[in-house]
Structure 1
């Protein structure tokens, strides 16, 4: 066997090993969150040509919750587009010290009005780094480019407000970091989980040109574990029949605050 063939074989084996390690990690987070061998064209959201795939996803979400209206449809679509790339990027950087250099060519799999399952290019590039920080610095601009491409198409199709989409992206980074910390999927650089989430979230936001959510500020001042991140943005799930707000929903907290104020006034 020639030296070139040996090199190609070793490279392919390396990619396979990395993909297997990554799939082992993703499947611990969400069932079905895994690399798939083939995605049918009718269910494919191709990052290089996302127009058709995003349009199909918006339509499926609309059909699943016609009562919710466009504000929910566009935010739900955005959440479906970014959650897997964000999770993959963070998992590979923190757990494997690897940057997914071909992330901007990812394909997402649509299942009804949801997106779960992904396909990275078989010739995809991975870079091993000597530290997590180097991996983050390499891959953050790639993740930013991918999300901006999705946002541009979604804006064209649904008139989404780009600042809102970027605020949701920042929230998603913090929520995902928190999940990695509290599920002990990654090794933390500081013992306090809330402090680690803030430090790392701030780093990602800086590298991706995002504003750090103001609600994250309180994570800096806590001295014990247990303080959780409060999202700044609302996904509007309450607009769907039979659905209620998430536990860290800013809309829910605002409603509870109004209720408490009203109760205090009534008791006086």
Structure 2
């Protein structure tokens, strides 16, 4: 059965909390489309020991679309693609709904060389403040990202230090987006939340140095530790928060 057809046939009515998560997700980006139901054998999920095959197809698709960019870019992009949805859904749930679904068991779907769309197959969740939920969220994210790393290791070498830098940048970048969405959140609050996330995900507090105060807005901005390497693609350039960007080298 085709994966898309399987997802349609097995889709079930989501619990009320998950319906809210799905609605909030679509407001962030249409690519963050959630559903509820059974996972198929093409899902990227801890319940599917063959997830590495779908991740390899993402990598191979990137190599075909951007042959000029090289292996480092293809791997970095593959990692970012498999991590962005779980992190976004976690932040939407915790800060938007003061809840945490079963992130460890989230399923994701590949579309060509992109990963878009996610699914939960159970309604497990907990409620609480961000401070109460972040430790459990961090534990789930650690388990999930370690699974992704082990799956990618089936076909290439991927170092924990490399993925830790990317994960830290993704977490801090999500907090920056949170403050941009809710400007009433102070710099001190965002910094305190960043410290909690880094601790929960067993990442160095040194990553806090990546947070800078923007001289024009007075709000926090991120200068990443890692580089996504998109500048290696034809007609692309450094991202605004790239550590290689000349303006950011002056700040750092």
Partner of 1:21: 20
Give the structure with the higher percent helix. Answer: 1
Deviation at 1:233, TM superposition (A): 0.6
Counterparts of 1:174 and 1:161 in 2: how far apart (Å)? 20
Q: Which runs of 5+ in 2 are unaligned?
A: 1-11
Specify the alignment match of 2:234 in structure 1.
Answer: 241
Distance 1:255 1:137 in 2: 32
Report the count of equivalent residues.
236
1:114 CA drift (Å): 1.2
Distance 1:227 1:98, change over 3 A: closer
Aligned to 1:106: 106
Specify whether residues 245 and 43 from structure 1 end up closer, same or farther in structure 2 by C-alpha distance, changes over 3 A only.
farther
The counterpart of 1:216, out of the listed 198, 210, 221, is: 210
Equivalents in 2 of 1:79, 1:138: separation in Å? 22
Distance in 1 between residues matched to 2:157 and 2:223, nearest whole Å: 27
TM-score (norm 1): 0.78
Distance 1:214 1:141 in 2: 20
Please, what TM-score do these two structures have when normalized by structure 2? 0.83
SS, match of residue 117 in structure 1: strand
1:150 to 2:143 alignment: no
| Bigger Cα displacement from structure 2, 241-250 vs 77-86 | 241-250
Q: Distance in 2 between matches of 1:135 and 1:90?
A: 10
Indicate conservation of the 8 Å contact 1:155/1:162, yes or no. Answer: no
- Across the aligned residues of Structure 1 and Structure 2, the Cα RMSD in angstroms comes to 2.8
- Aligned partners of 2:76 and 2:228 also within 8 Å: yes
**Number of the residue aligned with 1:61:** 62
Residue by residue over 1:156-185, the C-alpha shift from the partner in whole angstroms, topping out at 9 and shown as x without a partner, is: 42212210111110000000111122112x
Aligned to 2:115: 115
Say whether the 8 Å CA contact 2:211–2:223 is kept in structure 1.
no
d(CA) in 2 for partners of 1:233, 1:251: 9
Query: Does the Cα contact within 8 Å between 1:167 and 1:211 map onto a contact in 2?
Result: no
**Mean Cα displacement is larger for which, 133-142 or 233-242?**
133-142
CA displacement at 1:227 relative to structure 2 = 3.4
What SS is found at the alignment partner of 2:30? coil
Are the counterparts in 1 of residues 52 and 154 from structure 2 also a CA contact under 8 Å?
Answer: no
Which of these two proteins has the greater Rg computed from alpha carbons?
Answer: 1
Tell me by how many angstroms 1:214 deviates.
Answer: 5.2
For 2:193 and 2:177, locate their aligned partners in 1 and report how far apart those are by CA, in whole Å: 13
- Secondary structure at the counterpart of residue 153 of structure 2: helix
Q: Which runs of 4+ in 1 moved over 4 A?
A: 37-43, 254-257
Query: Following the alignment from structure 1 to structure 2, what is the Cα–Cα distance between the partners of residues 81 and 133?
Result: 26
